[in-house]
């Protein structure tokens, strides 16, 4: 996989030998952690495609996940306008924080990022017991049932809008988004691919 890199060769380590690096989940947008990089840490991050910091406590390079196995796989790297800080979009293997949470910043996350989180929940539940999981029951049925549900929910969204009932419209839109994600997963597609399609049209 080729990394998407923006201006990282212009990072100004002459201004400060250690610069802050913010790590963000590439799918959900959640801020996962913040650390510091020197030139060697940045180079190792780009070469290994795993987030690597300079640990001020260990006084050495430290790849996140080297002990826990919860690596942060690098997707995109950017520097800010002053070239003295870095933003890394990464895909985490598991919880980022040593406390066992997804982020070192607790539950702080963007609202729209929940769609990606919901997609991950749907993926995790699709092979569960259909008797105990509505999501699993949808995957256990014929594809035509998921197609039908998306059609039904789409009609209900339109009807709620025609009635000018915003509460019902919100609920029906939520049902539509959920069933659409299920249908996409059944076809081997992700929300990211849909977003990429939208971006290409922009």
Across the range 81-95, mean pLDDT stands at: 92
Same domain? 40 vs 116: no
Q: What is the pTM of this model?
A: 0.74
Same domain? 148 vs 185: yes
Residues 128-182: pLDDT tens digits?
999 999 999 999 999 999 999 999 999 999 999 999 999 999 999 999 999 999 9
For the chain, percent of residues with pLDDT exceeding 70: 96
Question: Residue 125: inside a domain, yes or no?
Answer: yes
Q: Which domain holds residue 16?
A: 2-92
pLDDT averaged over the chain? 92
Q: How confident is the model at residue 1 (pLDDT cuts 50, 70, 90)?
A: very low
Residue 73 CA to residue 201 CA, distance in Å, equals 28
Residues 54-82: pLDDT tens digits?
999 999 999 999 999 999 999 999 998 88
Residue in the structure block whose two tokens are 């950017």: 78
CATH code, domain carrying 6: 3.10.20.810
Paired strand residues for 172: none
Same domain? 121 vs 194: yes
Other CB atoms within a 10 A radius of the CB of residue 161 amount to: 14
Q: In what order do the strands lie in the sheet with 86-92?
A: 4-6, 72-79, 86-92, 19-25, 31-37
> What's the pLDDT at 5?
65
The number of distinct structural domains making up the chain is 2
Residues 92-120: pLDDT tens digits?
999 999 999 999 998 888 888 889 889 99
Burial class (CB in 10 A: 0-12, 13-18, 19+), 59: exposed
CATH code, domain carrying 155: 1.10.287.1080
Domain boundary among 61, 92, 123: 92
Residues 5-17: pLDDT tens digits?
666 777 888 888 8
């Amino acid at each position: 996989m080729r990394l998407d890199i923006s201006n990282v060769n212009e990072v100004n380590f002459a201004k400060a030998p250690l610069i802050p690096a913010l790590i963000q989940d590439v799918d959900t947008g959640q801020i996962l952690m913040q650390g510091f990089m020197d030139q060697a840490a940045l180079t190792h991050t780009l070469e290994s495609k795993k987030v690597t910091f300079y640990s001020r406590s260990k006084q050495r390079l430290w790849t996140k996940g080297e002990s826990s196995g919860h690596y942060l796989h690098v997707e995109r790297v950017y520097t800010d306008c002053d070239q003295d800080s870095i933003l890394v979009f990464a895909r985490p293997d598991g919880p980022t924080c040593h406390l066992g949470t997804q982020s070192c910043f607790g539950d702080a996350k963007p609202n729209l990022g929940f769609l990606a989180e919901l997609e991950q929940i749907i993926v995790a539940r699709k092979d569960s017991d259909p008797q105990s999981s509505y999501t699993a029951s949808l995957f256990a049925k014929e594809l035509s049932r998921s197609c039908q549900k998306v059609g039904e929910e789409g009609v209900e969204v339109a009807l709620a809008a025609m009635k000018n009932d915003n509460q019902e419209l919100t609920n029906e839109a939520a049902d539509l988004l959920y069933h659409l994600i299920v249908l996409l997963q059944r076809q081997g597609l992700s929300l990211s691919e849909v977003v990429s399609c939208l971006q290409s049209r922009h």
